[in-house]
Amino acid sequence: MSSNGENTMTGRHTGLVTRMNACTENPVLRIWCALHQIDLVIKSAAEELAGGRWIMFTWSFSIFLRAQANLITSMAVKCPKKTNRWTHLGRLLQFFKDHRRRIVAYTETHRPEQMPTSAWWVITFAVLPAINTINVTFVILQNRSLLIAQQEQHIHMLISSLVAMFCVEIVQENYDDAQYVSVGSMRILVDAIVEHIRDQGSFAIACYSDLDANDKNEIIRTVARYAISLVTGLMGVKAERDGNNMRLENDAPPVLPAQLITIRHGKFVSEVLEPYRTHISSFWSLEDIDQTEADHRDLLNLYASDQILRVAIDRHTIETSFDDTWNCAPGRFDKLRSFCGSLATVFTNTTSIESDFSILKWEMTKTVPA
């Protein structure tokens, strides 16, 4: 069952998904779209920047630029507008970066009171690489052929990229040290943030150099807190949710050969097959279910003894489709493949579901007949 995170949908007592779950006889996998969660993380981190002042000026400055007909004509491009998707913030910041010289010259001449400060420019340049990195993952997660079972690995890779970008460290104890900016169990070296700002080019370096010592210190802490906020928020993103709409700590059922070969046969039977035995017994014979068990045992044995199969499975990546992964052994493990193909985690992500609804244009009627 897939939904957004609204209490009316996922509330632990009267939420729609909760009530539907209570009516089912079979195991239910609850999903909260990972893309929506990432969008909320970006929103929260952006709104906390500089106490909310940075994002307020960013939006107001974009409105100002969109109203300047002469500037638009001379540049032959219009400033992107605010949307309800916070990942589009990257497009706006990229516009500011690409056209900064024309924007500064025009604003200084026609509306100097709207001129962005050096501090605002530094923050803008510092956060843009992070948002661009997130947007790359966002596009990947929108792939209609990507499985829910593959999403978590992409999110982990995104977190690793941001940790490396800002040199985020996880520590056992939080203690005061002037060399670091610490938030909770994470910290970033002050020099690492300075180097990150310098990596954004001469304009960012010039704006940073214009600041006095106190402003530089505040900018460093602002960017560091932003980075830690992103990492912390993304670490909580997971499509699979429990009954309280919290991230599901246990892994969702595996559906790919590369996942299945890591599971002992006894665990596969008790934790993957057994929860669905009653349900599949309505459609499969006992012999079919026994063959599913046998297929998993054979998969483990062949992976250990057949080098060709082992190489084929090991070559699969998180981008490999369901059919391609199982086609490594054509004509083998048909019942196991069919069983895995029926599990919820084989479905593509919620982007495809939203697309289907957009195509069908289905909406619930405003009045429900008695």
Say yes or no to pLDDT of 366 above 90: no
Tell me the pLDDT tens digit for each residue of 326-350: 998 888 999 999 999 888 666 655 5
| Confidence at residue 350, expressed as pLDDT on a 0 to 100 scale | 58
Which of the two residues, 53 and 6, has the higher pLDDT score?
53
Mean pLDDT for the stretch of residues 77-88: 85
Spatial distance between the Cα atoms of 57 and 92, rounded to a whole number of angstroms = 13
Name the pLDDT band for 354 (thresholds 50, 70, 90): low
Spatial distance between the Cα atoms of 340 and 343, rounded to a whole number of angstroms = 5
Tell me the pLDDT tens digit for each residue of 32-56: 888 888 999 999 999 999 999 999 9
Say yes or no to pLDDT of 210 above 90: yes
Name the pLDDT band for 76 (thresholds 50, 70, 90): very high
| Confidence at residue 31, expressed as pLDDT on a 0 to 100 scale | 80
Percent of the chain topping pLDDT 70: 91
Name the pLDDT band for 370 (thresholds 50, 70, 90): very low
Contacts with 332 (C-beta within 8 Å, 6 or more apart), sequence order: 295, 298, 302
Spatial distance between the Cα atoms of 368 and 370, rounded to a whole number of angstroms = 6
Each residue of 313-338: b (16+ CB within 10 Å) or e? beebebebbbeebbebbeeebebbbb
Spatial distance between the Cα atoms of 240 and 42, rounded to a whole number of angstroms = 20
Say yes or no to pLDDT of 141 above 80: yes
